[in-house]
Amino acid sequence: MNIDRHNYEEYFLLYIDNELSVDQKKQVELFVQENPDLEEELVMLKQSRLIPDDSIVFDRKHSADERRRWTAFKFFHQFE
């Protein structure tokens, strides 16, 4: 891996996607230290990552109809 000012974006993206080895990550971090004008780009890429929304949960208690379907499904498959 040879990161420079022409190909850094690819490495930033791989860094964000967690597809680099520990050594490669260190190289990206070192590169950013040596090129502080590019730090903001990495920061913005980090900020564009999605944060899992833990308030969204699968809730089977929504309707009596769904509960009936689920119970029927479990009942049916216990004899398989």
Least Cβ distance, residue 29 to another protein (angstroms): 18
Least Cβ distance, residue 60 to another protein (angstroms): 8
Residue nearer to another protein on the CB measure, 33 or 76: 76
Are 8 and 31 in contact by the 8 Å Cβ rule? The answer is: yes
Residues of the shown chain interacting with another protein in the complex, contacts defined by CB under 8 A: 9-10, 13, 16-19, 41, 44-45, 47-53, 55-58, 60, 62, 66, 69-70, 73, 77
Cα–Cα distance measured from residue 27 to residue 34, given in angstroms and rounded to the nearest whole number? 10
Q: Dihedral of CA 12/22/27/2: which sign?
A: negative
